[in-house]
Amino acid sequence: MLIGIDASRASVDQRTGTEGYSYHIIRGLIAAGREHRFRLYFRDVPPVGLINPADNVEVEVIRRYRLWTHAGLGPAIRREKPDVLFVPSHVVPWPNTGTVPTVVTAHDLGYLHYPDKHPLFERMYLNWSTRHSARAAWRMIAVSNATKQDLVSLNGVPAEKIRVVHSGVDTFLQPVENPDEIARLKTRLGISGPYILHVGRVHLRKNLPRLVEAFHHIKDALPELTLVMAGRDAWGQSQLLKQIRKFGLEDRVLLPGYVADADLPALYSGASVYAFPSLYEGFGFPALEAMACGTPVVCANTSSLPEIVGDAALSIAPTDVIALSEAMARLITDAELSATLIERGKERVKQFTWEASAQATLNALIEAATGDTSSVVHGTLS
């Protein structure tokens, strides 16, 4: 079987959630589907080493910089048809992929829950593209049960069209035991002393102004503590900076920007607490990444996060600033609780592997291409 994959998101320089998913799921599919052939569609020539060379993998570069998905990828699919097309990030080519069955991954519908947290054009495009993809795709993959429920209740997608396939956690994310490695990273980023960490785009939906306010409530009791929020600006940095100035925390809050993947294990491992009060998450990679590195987590009790973290984190209502501040302080001062959550977190992470995710995704692709639902019957997909 020839499997076509939209690989455009996998080759970006600074991968975050959706781009990281694309990168890992593509590599996992190639490893799991050795008996199949893969055609990867890119916008540009992929960097050396992005995808390991293999006899069953071909690369097609579509050099079109405007409307790439609809005016580039779509015609390429209809012209030289694979047996099935996989789109790892939301958008199926318009108007359709002809007779080629398509499987698309939906990551979240947070723009419907919190429309005011997204720019108008972004919200309109996400709404259109998700609805279009739901109509055009033969199967949809939801990265969590929460996302599946949203697709059904908010977009009217038939439940039987959706397969829930949890994402994985990169195995390079492990506790860094060498204190010198952590110290070197802290020096390079300008971090001094213990710190609370948040990793992710600076976006209004991440609820970072409330995290700053919660930190303000505990800063005097923990005078050596710093709040570090690592991630590139998406849509919300001005509001965040305003909140930092409001509480006079310019010397206690650090915004180092995007941190490279190679530095994440040390960054997570060095943190006293990972704080994740996001208003909405389709999956919530950073919570699991922090757990993988042995850092205790406090996170919101909404959207997919209870499903993903289980009992391995302290959960709070994301709008309750006092509860958030108390939870962070408790994890810093209660060594026994912190140790318990660290151990639970390490066990929890074992449930999320890219190997399992890739195999379940491959089963969904085979199902779409052939109509074989045996993988569903035997519980590989849910």
pLDDT tier at 380, thresholds 50, 70, 90: very low
161 neighbors 106 (Cβ within 8 angstroms): no
Q: For 26-51, what is the mean pLDDT? A: 92
Mean pLDDT value across residues 374-381: 41
Query: What is the mean pLDDT of the segment spanning 348-373?
Result: 93
When the pLDDT of each residue in the chain is averaged and rounded to a whole number, the result is 92
Res 382 pLDDT > 60: no
pLDDT exceeds cutoff 70 at 375: no
Query: What's the whole-number mean pLDDT along residues 157-180?
Result: 96
The predicted pLDDT at position 373 comes to 58
Neighbours of 279 (CB within 10 A): 19
Which residues is 226 bridged to in the sheet? 195
pLDDT tens per residue, range 278-299: 999 999 999 999 999 999 999 9
Q: How much of the chain exceeds pLDDT 70, in percent? A: 97
- Residue spans of the domains in the chain: they are 2-168+353-377, 179-349
Asked if 2-168+353-377 and 179-349 have one fold, the answer is yes
Domain 2-168+353-377 has CATH 3.40.50.2000: yes
Average pLDDT, integer, range 58-85: 91
- Provide the pLDDT for residue 60: 93
Residues 112-141 have a mean pLDDT of 90
Q: What is the DSSP letter of 168?
A: -
With beta carbons less than 8 A apart as the criterion, state whether 197 and 228 touch: yes
Query: Is the pLDDT reported for residue 377 higher than 60?
Result: no
Residue 4 belongs to what H/E stretch? Answer: strand 2-6
What is the torsion angle, in degrees rounded to the nearest 10, for the CA atoms of residue 119, residue 121, residue 126 and residue 127? 100
Residue 156 has pLDDT above 50, yes or no: yes
Are 243 and 127 in contact by the 8 Å Cβ rule? The answer is: no
Does the pLDDT at position 354 exceed 50? yes
Over residues 1-33, the pLDDT tens digits come to 999 999 998 888 777 778 899 999 999 999 999
Q: Phi and psi at residue 175, in whole multiples of 5°?
A: -60, 135
Mean pLDDT value across residues 221-231: 96
Superfamily of domain 179-349: Glycogen Phosphorylase B; (3.40.50.2000)
| pLDDT value of position 143 | 97
Residue 95: predicted pLDDT: 86
Q: What is the pLDDT of residue 98?
A: 80
Q: Using the predicted structure, report yes or no on whether residue 376 has a pLDDT greater than 50.
A: no
Mean pLDDT for 339-357 is 97
Tell me the backbone φ, ψ of residue 149, rounded to 5 degrees: -60, -40
Q: Give one DSSP letter per residue of 184-243, joined into a string.
A: HHHHHHT--S-EEEEES-EEGGGTHHHHHHHHHHHTTTSTT-EEEEES-EEE-HHHHHHH
Q: What is the pLDDT of residue 372?
A: 66
Q: Binning pLDDT at 50, 70 and 90, where does residue 163 land?
A: very high
d(CA 81, CA 125): 27
Q: In this predicted structure, what is the pLDDT of residue 236?
A: 78
**This prediction's pTM:** 0.92
